[in-house]
Structure 1
Amino acid sequence: MQHETTNRLAREKSPYLLQHAANPVDWYPWGEEAFQQAREEGKPIFLSIGYSTCHWCHVMARESFADQKIAELLNAGFINIKVDREERPDIDQMYMAAAMTLNSSGGWPLSIFLTHKGAPFYVATYIPPRSRDGRTGFPDILHAIHTAWLNRREELEQSALGVIKALQKGASSARVGQGRQPAQSDALARAVVALADSFDQRYGGFGSAPKFPRPAVFSLLFQACFFEKSEQALEMGLATLRAMARGGIHDHLGGGFHRYAVDRQWRIPHFEKMLYDQAQLADAYLVAGQITGERQYAKVAQQILQYVLTVLQAPAGGFYAAEDADSEDPYSPGRHGEGACYLWIEEEIVQTVGVADANIFTYCYGVEFDGNALADPLHEFTGRNILYLKHHPEEAAAQFNKDLSQIEAVLARASQKLVEKRQQRNGPHRDEKILTAWNGLMIKALAKASAVVQDPQLLDAAQRAAVFLRTTLYNRKNRTLCRRFCEGESGIKGQLDDYAFLVAGLFELYQVTQESQWLQWALELTETQIRLFWDEQGDGFFDSLPDPLVAVRLKNDYDGAEPAANSLAAANLVRLGRLTDNSQWLDLADRTIRSFDEQLHHNPQALPVLLTAQQELLSAPSLVVVAGRRDAEDTKKMLGIVQRSWSPARLLLLADGGENQEFLGKLLPFVRTASMVNNQATAYFCRDYTCQMPMTDPEALEEMLGRETEV
């Protein structure tokens, strides 16, 4: 039953909070008002954490938060708070750590019961509306907690305080460490061995179902290919990328990747699409293409980015956060389900593209008359098909006795017709908040792609996003960031990932454009990041700013769906420290890496991005300076050769005789003297602070870079 009026969440900007604004639950947003009310009324707090594209968050909202009787129990016995984890990852991080402490598991929606001091004493995830399948129903839990609060409040408060103390002790122990050790040079190799132990030789990826892309792993595998000359690491990365591109986790019509696959074969996705996945996977496919020279990888990256520009780009230039997993069933209007708009009945494909083309299309994409989407979570959609690449076009050419070009033309024609057909359906909800951190990752991917595939549209999109962030989410006076922009309003103080991810994006944008404004802004943000987040006692960076309502400031030590902010912060400090000859920043990078030495020693594969930062710090610096007129064709050719060749520790600088060279000369004096030879664009290749003879022949430069990157 839906409430007819709105609660306090109606004043918020978060799409997730607004989804609950009409609940009969008397929700509060996170803040002092809610905690003060809990103190005055002597009630415990029920805290619900989720995000707007979360499938099980929707389920719990429909089943429980829209239910009048459950709402009455919540309102009578508790002060109720809703938090969007994407707006406030610091709150989510602390209570997820509490969930792991109490239950050894977590997830979303995260359901926590707190004292009025914010200490948790009971933690769950999704709770059904009634007891079933061995799970206690929400009303029963509410009655039990209310009774316990009335009769054993002191005991609950002491228990909750113990959880906070345990989290504080763990955070303090991690900060102090056991005496930092020098970086372990074998950590990268040990991480590859650990990943190889869980590698799925048959279907790619690591472990069994469910399978997550975890893009950070690709950076580790490709660095191991470069630094360790590990063909095994390269093949694990490439095999996984190929398997994902074939699977149903890849949207073969609309582009982009769904969040994860529920099965081992990557065929059945959990259908939400996240901006951070698109950015990181595009980057991974681009690097795979640079290493192998094979067009198939760059093609997937281009399809990802085209999806982002088509669906997730805001008119002003920033990028929206995500698309939902749930959507309306096109075959049963009014009925919703996970992934409904992405599924197909064979008959509709035949009607849309014609019998002849449908024969080829259905053969290639695994379409069956009875449907191929019968496994959980799609059991309710019988007779439906998830498109996945069952047979390659080359196989179809042999099967149908046609030329490959004919097959490719059929698939392109049929795909376009099906895209147009799908666009007529009611698609999933789009979360239209713009997050600084995730936009930083997308700027990085777009800038890199623009250079690798030579597409100026992608560079324009990266620059527009950067301008948007600088205009709407950056305070020039105090050089600080806001975290999110939504419905015309910027808000929430930036977290460490906002700074680190954006700096990574700006650094890549500078490498491609050689426009000093982007490097200058990256340097300013890094200075602010150090000022706001550096841990003077334990080294490394806190993930969040101090907040009196958040009892513990933590540091994530796992590169998961997103890299840990410290991992990318360390990588940024290595690159910027070398580019600016700033030994203090290189020292901070080293101290950040060593502050995680226990994790790197026992579980190096847990922090692949931090490992890549460590490897770059341990490696001899590599630098290419191109001296030439910025708009001259020979200069562009030299720059393009460097940009299309991949080397994880290489820096590229343009001595343009103008603003960029002047700016760089203040940081690296030797760049001032870099000049053209015989009035031709000239490349200076320097490794470990020793420069080779200047080169004016593009082929000579390409050959030298090729020798550097040979596996």
Structure 2
Amino acid sequence: MTNRLAASTSPYLLQHAENPVDWFEWGDEAFAEAERRDVPLLISVGYAACHWCHVMAHESFEDEATASYMNEHFVNVKVDREERPDVDAVYMEATQATTGAGGWPMTVFATPEGEPFYCGTYFPPRPAHGMPSFPQVLAAIAAAWAERRAEVTASAAGLRQALADRPGTLLGTDPGAPREHRVEESLAAISRDFDATRGGFGGAPKFPPSMVLEWLLRHHARTGDTDALTMATSTLEAMARGGMVDQLGGGFARYSVDATWTVPHFEKMLYDNALLLRAYTHWWRATGDPLARRVAQETADWMLRDLRTPEGGFASSLDADSDGHEGTYYVWTPAQLREVLGSDDGAWAAELFGVTDVGTFERGTSVLQLRADPGADEHERFASVRRRLLAARHRRTPPARDDKVVAGWNGLAIGALAEAGALLDRSDWVDAASASAGLLADLHVRTMSAASPRSDGRHPADGPTVRLARTSRAGTVGRSPGVLEDYANLADGLLVLAAVTADHRWTGLAGRLLDAAMTRFRDEAGTFFDTAEDETDPVLARMRRPRDPADGPTPSGPAAVAGALVAWGALTGSEDHREAAEQSLDELLAIAVRYPRAAGTALAVAEALADGPREVAVVGPLDDPATRSLQAAALRGTAPGAVVAVADPVDLAAHGAPVALLADRPLVGGRPTAYVCRGFVCGLPTTDPVELARGLGALTPATGP
């Protein structure tokens, strides 16, 4: 028998559709039922690839006695944090404020109005390690609600007020300090945190510092700072050599549980791989390192092979578990290698991949690592071993896939695949990026003929505006509205796609998304929030309008939109967009000085602003190899945050310039021509791609592979 979740479009909620728990989805029905019955809400938040979410589900939510008690004393609400990041953010802030920690599954008890009064994460079915059992917690909360209601409501009111009173930025920061001074202070801080022996920052667990790596590569490109390049290179190589990356099939796991990048938490997320694809592509662009190229290729190929949906989008994640255990799909023993490869190749592979009898993971199994490449005369043997092991692994039970399409994460994938495809000459990746963009444009984007007024009476700019749905699944759009990261990341990805394809329908859509961000996510003081003013959940708004300025696994919404606005300002000359970006960046860089690992995106945007950013207009027939050579040279440039716009002069004459950067750009001598500008002040035009590439800091064709 199924419960209400059977009608959901969320794969995570569908995992709980056959629980004996009488689950509700987040929404008015749940709140009305709690009010009618006069019982608390039990809000359980998780996501489909979450290992401990599965554990708690098997131990508690599938248990008839536990479910019966939950149904009798609570209205139970199941939330997919990836579908509703706004709900997750508010209750996670409450959980961290009351417990000093957070994580998933997140378990929150709240009044019928949604105000939390008791928070936690995973609870075991029996008391263990100083933790109460979940049944004990349920009984204690039910008793408190029935017998000490005044204490409970007072606790909820106090927590609500504490959340509302928390400052929007960090106390003690100096938002007025010069931008470049804050970048240098942040660089000094991140250097102190750098693990020079093993790569990465801090100790275990180690998460892929994708946004910090992008900043360090940009800083090196702008200043020539070799220490910044060393930190980026050491970390990128360490991740690629360890167990974080799937050495057979490509793609990165969520994080390493140790400081040596040996054993990962095995779930694979779209956002991690999109961000890392771009980081490895940019590492290759800066250095020509063959490892960078190989990892970028294998990551992109894995994304297309394992995450593409039939509709052309990209699924959210692969689970960590299969056959009831974490990592089972990925780990090996020496005996298993010999069984697949034979004695000689099995022993060779065990030594190469670090597979031992003792093992590096559970039950004597090992995570494959590649601490050194095989010898030059062993590449064919290496390729054969990988093919055979991958074929054998395909016969195992694969991890489940969360196949919902998230707009913002697909935006990250669009930008990464388009740029990597252009730089590494893989048109199939560019085609995949275009297909994802098409799905989002057709299914997730809704154009409004007339914009609604804001609560302060002001109206957005004239013309049609857009609204963006956050998720879809199997061609059906979800009910959750897009949050700031969706608008920002999709806009950024579309601008990259337009630079690669010269298809300016993507430019226009990016501009409308950013206009929507400016009018619906920003208040009069210039602060960007994670939810639109007219789509902020009223239950959450009573506590605090969601807003997280710090990077997490993905770029923070305020930082991501700052980056997209800088690019848009560089393409169009819009001072309003650039000023909005700079205003948002001031607070984010104040945070960066103290917590640079949480501000990589903002620091990368600051590098772009410090460099201009450079604006490159390429004009020529799109089917002319000379035009494509100039475009390729522009894309290969390492100038931080450089924007590229390409157009055919025939189209410009017929339809006008799609962006101001392309206006009044004639051919020189009848040949395809590039213009490099800062603030629309341009140097001499060039028809020479080598000269253009060198001027943008790129490796020349002679030195770059």
Partner residue in 1 for 2:673: 682
- Change in Cα spacing, 1:37 to 1:591, as seen in structure 2 (3 Å) is same
Query: Is this contact kept in 1: 2:169–2:591, CA < 8 A?
Result: no
1:212 aligns with 2:204: no
Q: Give 1:503's match in structure 2, choosing from 466, 476, 491.
A: 491
Map 1:576-587; keep pairs closer than 5 Å. Answer: 576-587=568-579
Cα separation, 2, equivalents of 1:103 and 1:549: 22
Q: Give 2:26's match in structure 1, choosing from 18, 30, 39.
A: 30
Cα separation, 1, equivalents of 2:340 and 2:578: 59
Cα separation, 1, equivalents of 2:675 and 2:639: 16
1:92 aligns with 2:60: no
1:76: how far off? 1.4
Cα separation, 2, equivalents of 1:208 and 1:660: 54
1:156 aligns with 2:152: yes
1:350 aligns with 2:338: yes
1:281: how far off? 0.3
Partner residue in 2 for 1:397: none
Cα separation, 2, equivalents of 1:644 and 1:268: 34
Partner residue in 2 for 1:547: 537
- Change in Cα spacing, 1:179 to 1:298, as seen in structure 2 (3 Å) is closer
Query: Is this contact kept in 2: 1:623–1:650, CA < 8 A?
Result: yes
Partner residue in 2 for 1:340: 328
Partner residue in 1 for 2:366: 385
Helix, strand or coil at the partner of 1:437: helix
Equivalent AA in structure 1 for residue 374 of structure 2: P
Partner residue in 2 for 1:41: 37
Helix, strand or coil at the partner of 1:694: coil
1:292 aligns with 2:273: no
Q: Give 1:570's match in structure 2, choosing from 562, 568, 573.
A: 562
Q: Give 2:682's match in structure 1, choosing from 665, 688, 691.
A: 691
Partner residue in 2 for 1:485: 472
1:227: how far off? 2.7
1:438: how far off? 0.7
Partner residue in 1 for 2:428: 457
Query: Is this contact kept in 1: 2:175–2:590, CA < 8 A?
Result: no
Helix, strand or coil at the partner of 1:322: strand
Cα separation, 2, equivalents of 1:483 and 1:468: 13
Query: Is this contact kept in 2: 1:437–1:483, CA < 8 A?
Result: yes
1:666: how far off? 6.2
Cα separation, 2, equivalents of 1:293 and 1:87: 38
1:297: how far off? 0.3
Query: Is this contact kept in 1: 2:444–2:471, CA < 8 A?
Result: yes
Partner residue in 2 for 1:466: 437
Partner residue in 2 for 1:531: 519
1:538: how far off? 5.3
Partner residue in 1 for 2:650: 658
Percent identical among aligned pairs is 37
Query: Is this contact kept in 1: 2:639–2:697, CA < 8 A?
Result: no
Helix, strand or coil at the partner of 1:673: coil
Query: Is this contact kept in 2: 1:629–1:657, CA < 8 A?
Result: yes
- Change in Cα spacing, 1:125 to 1:565, as seen in structure 2 (3 Å) is same
Q: Give 1:703's match in structure 2, choosing from 664, 672, 694.
A: 694
1:706: how far off? 3.4
Equivalent AA in structure 1 for residue 441 of structure 2: R
Equivalent AA in structure 2 for residue 104 of structure 1: G
Cα separation, 2, equivalents of 1:371 and 1:226: 44
Say which is worse superposed, 219-228 or 496-505, in terms of deviation: 219-228
Give CA-to-partner distance per residue, 1:359-389, whole Å, 9 cap, x none.
3222211122x14234xxx2xx22x221101
Equivalent AA in structure 1 for residue 359 of structure 2: N
Q: Give 1:624's match in structure 2, choosing from 604, 608, 616.
A: 616
Equivalent AA in structure 2 for residue 624 of structure 1: V
Q: TM-score, normalised by structure 2?
A: 0.93
1:514 aligns with 2:495: no
Cα separation, 2, equivalents of 1:142 and 1:539: 40
- Change in Cα spacing, 1:43 to 1:655, as seen in structure 2 (3 Å) is closer
1:179: how far off? 9.6
Cα separation, 2, equivalents of 1:169 and 1:625: 47
1:9: how far off? 1.1
Cα separation, 2, equivalents of 1:451 and 1:665: 23
Partner residue in 2 for 1:127: 123
Equivalent AA in structure 1 for residue 23 of structure 2: W
1:689: how far off? 4.1
Cα separation, 1, equivalents of 2:164 and 2:685: 56
Partner residue in 2 for 1:400: none
Query: Is this contact kept in 1: 2:287–2:699, CA < 8 A?
Result: no
1:165 aligns with 2:161: yes
- Change in Cα spacing, 1:422 to 1:449, as seen in structure 2 (3 Å) is same
Q: TM-score, normalised by structure 1?
A: 0.92
Say which is worse superposed, 99-108 or 530-539, in terms of deviation: 530-539
Number of aligned residue pairs: give it: 680
Give CA-to-partner distance per residue, 1:292-323, whole Å, 9 cap, x none.
12222021011011111001001221011000
- Change in Cα spacing, 1:471 to 1:292, as seen in structure 2 (3 Å) is same
- Change in Cα spacing, 1:147 to 1:585, as seen in structure 2 (3 Å) is same
- Change in Cα spacing, 1:180 to 1:258, as seen in structure 2 (3 Å) is closer
Q: Give 2:359's match in structure 1, choosing from 372, 376, 384.
A: 372
Equivalent AA in structure 2 for residue 485 of structure 1: S
Cα separation, 2, equivalents of 1:87 and 1:707: 40
1:116: how far off? 1.0
Equivalent AA in structure 1 for residue 107 of structure 2: S
Query: Is this contact kept in 1: 2:418–2:429, CA < 8 A?
Result: yes
Equivalent AA in structure 2 for residue 672 of structure 1: A
1:687: how far off? 3.9
Cα separation, 1, equivalents of 2:388 and 2:85: 41
Helix, strand or coil at the partner of 1:122: strand
- Change in Cα spacing, 1:578 to 1:541, as seen in structure 2 (3 Å) is farther
Query: Is this contact kept in 2: 1:516–1:659, CA < 8 A?
Result: no
Cα separation, 1, equivalents of 2:570 and 2:104: 40
Query: Is this contact kept in 2: 1:177–1:595, CA < 8 A?
Result: no
Cα separation, 2, equivalents of 1:124 and 1:214: 27
1:597: how far off? 5.5
Partner residue in 2 for 1:258: 253
Helix, strand or coil at the partner of 2:552: coil
Helix, strand or coil at the partner of 2:213: helix
Cα separation, 1, equivalents of 2:261 and 2:172: 40
Query: Is this contact kept in 2: 1:360–1:411, CA < 8 A?
Result: no
Partner residue in 1 for 2:627: 635
List gaps (5 residues or longer) in structure 1: 329-335, 395-403
Cα separation, 2, equivalents of 1:423 and 1:303: 17
Partner residue in 1 for 2:180: 185
Q: Give 1:65's match in structure 2, choosing from 39, 42, 61.
A: 61
1:675: how far off? 2.3
